Amino acid sequence: MAATGVSMGWSGWAPRFQSLLRIVAAFMFITAGTTKLFAFPAMIPSGGTVPLVSQMGLGACLEVFGGALLLLGLFTRPVAFILAGEMAVAYFQFHAPNSFWPTVNNGVPAVLYCFIWLYFSAAGAGPWSLDALRRK
């Protein structure tokens, strides 16, 4: 009976952890974009930044601005859907041709972000979000 009480209390935190996952994942996603656009917090392996008017530049802009919207939890469902598509394209265009296995082709982040954003496109932002405030 006690285990049921503990698990029931813990599962009550699920909506807050949904928001927390969105916030942490979006913050890390933003840094992927700022690395490409501004060489911050690190430089890309080839050095410098990517050209703004390029496919990589477009992806970096989506990561920074789309990630910021997800961090705030604003327009979460459509933005997350677009970013899931971006990550699917990134995986199949840049990673998959190098190997079938994501751990070998360095595509694990792209796959994980794709499915995390796909989840948020279906589940929404959670209670700690501007989307939740707009519904009130």
- pLDDT tens digits for range 48-81: 899 999 999 999 999 999 999 999 999 999 999 9
Q: What is the pLDDT of residues 38-49, one digit of tens each?
A: 999 999 988 889
Residue 76 lies in a domain: yes
Q: Evaluate whether residue 129 is within a structural domain.
A: yes
pTM: 0.92
Question: Does 78 reside within a domain?
Answer: yes
Based on DSSP, count helices (H) and strands (E) in the chain, helices before strands: 8, 0
Radius of gyration of the chain measured on its C-alpha atoms: 17
Does 9 fall in a domain? no
Q: Is the pLDDT of residue 1 over 60?
A: no
Q: Is 42 a member of any domain? A: yes
Domain contains 8: no
Could you tell me which of 57, 113, 63, 61 has the C-alpha nearest to residue 84?
113
In a domain, 126, yes or no: yes
- Enclosing domain of residue 105: 14-135
Domain count, the chain: 1
